[in-house]
Amino acid sequence: MAEVRAIVLRAAGINCDMETEYALEQAGAKAECVHINRLIEDKKLLEQFQIIVFPGGFSYGDDVAAGKILANQIIHHLSEPLQKFIDDGKLVLGICNGFQVLVKTGILPGNGSAKQEAVTITYNDSGKFEDRWVYLAPQTGKCIFIEPGRQIYLPIAHGEGKVVTKDEAMLEELKAEGHIAFKYVDENGEEGDYPINPNGSMGSIAGLTDSTGRVLGLMPHPERHVRPTQHPRWSRLYKIGGTRDEGRETRDADGTTIFNNAVKYIQKNF
C-alpha cells in the first residue's frame, strides 16, 4: 500500500501523544492525534487507519485506577469497532497508560479465559512513582512488534505498573501460550528484584501480547528512545557521524524497533 495511517488516541491527561506521533512518522507512517470524543462521534473514522496507539500519560488523572475511565469509555462506546479493527488484521499498541487501558478493557491478554478479571496492573511495590531506564528481553516470536532475540533499553515512568495475575495458574497460562511479550531483565538478560524489576510485576512481566501477536501493550516508553541521543549514555554507545570509533553501536535506537516493525507489517500485508 502507498500509505500507512496510524491514529494516536488522545484524552484528557494523555501527555505522550505528540512524541508517539513523531515516532510513528519517523518509522514511515502518516500519524494523526485524534481525541476519543471525535472517534465516539464518528466510529467509522477508525476504518481509515491500520494502526491505533493508546499512548502514555494519565488519562482522566488516573482517577479510580490508572487507565480505568478511558477503558470504560472503550468498553461502552468503541468495543465493536475496535474488535473489528483487530479482526481485520490491523495493529494495536498500548504504551504505559495505554497498556493499562488495554488490560482493563480485557483486550489484553485476550486469550479466552484471561479476561479483564484475570490480569490487572496495579501500584508499584516501591510505593512510589518510578522514573528510570530498564532492560527488556523479548519472550515470544509471534508478536509482530518485536525483533526476536534483541534485548532493548527503554525508560519507564509510572506509579501503577505492576502486572498481577489472579493466581499462579494464570501466570503459567500466559507463559505457555506466548502472551508475555517482554520481561524486565538486567544488562546480562537475567531477571532480578528491584530495581531490575522496577514495579514488582509477577514473572517480571513488562509487556503482553494477544493470541494474534498484533496487539501489544508494554509499560516502558519506546517513543522516548527513537533517536540515539535520547539514550542516557549515547555519547559512549552510538556512532553519531564523524569518526567510526570501534566498540560503538550503529543500530537504530531501541524504541524504533517497535514502530518500524509495525509499519513494515502493514506495508507487507495491506
CB 101 within 8 A of CB 71: yes
pLDDT in tens, 15-42: 999 999 999 999 999 999 999 999 999 9
Share of the chain above pLDDT 70, in %: 92
Residue 97 binned pLDDT confidence (cut-offs 50, 70, 90): very high
Phi then psi for residue 216, to 5 deg, are -130, 135
pLDDT confidence of residue 233: 86
Distance of CA 62 to the CA centre of its chain: 18
Phi then psi for residue 56, to 5 deg, are -80, 170
Residue 1 has pLDDT above 90, yes or no: no
User: Which of 16, 130, 158, 221 does the annotation list as catalytic?
Assistant: 221
CATH assignment of the domain containing 190: 3.40.50.880
pLDDT confidence of residue 181: 98
Query: Total structural domains in the chain?
Result: 1
Please report, for residues 28, 100, 136, 250, the alpha-carbon distance to residue 200 in angstroms, rounded to integers and kept in the order given.
35, 16, 14, 33
Dihedral over alpha carbons 195, 21, 70, 212 (to 10 degrees): -80
Query: Residues 183-195: what's their mean pLDDT?
Result: 97
Query: Residues 150-159: what's their mean pLDDT?
Result: 96
Specify whether 96 is catalytic. Answer: yes
pLDDT in tens, 195-251: 999 999 999 999 999 999 999 999 999 999 999 889 888 877 766 554 444 445 557
Query: Residues 166-171: what's their mean pLDDT?
Result: 93
User: Which of 96, 130, 143, 225 does the annotation list as catalytic?
Assistant: 96
Specify whether 76 is catalytic. Answer: no
Can you give the C-alpha Rg of the chain in angstroms?
A: 18
pLDDT confidence of residue 142: 93
User: Which of 130, 223, 225, 231 does the annotation list as catalytic?
Assistant: 223
Q: Which domain holds residue 145?
A: 5-269
Distance of CA 233 to the CA centre of its chain: 23
Q: Give DSSP secondary structure letters for 69-97.
A: HHHHHIIIIIHHHHHHHHHTT-EEEEETH
Report the phi/psi class of residue 89: left, alpha or beta, with left for phi > 0 and alpha for psi in -120 to 50.
left
pLDDT in tens, 133-150: 999 999 999 999 999 999
pLDDT confidence of residue 250: 56
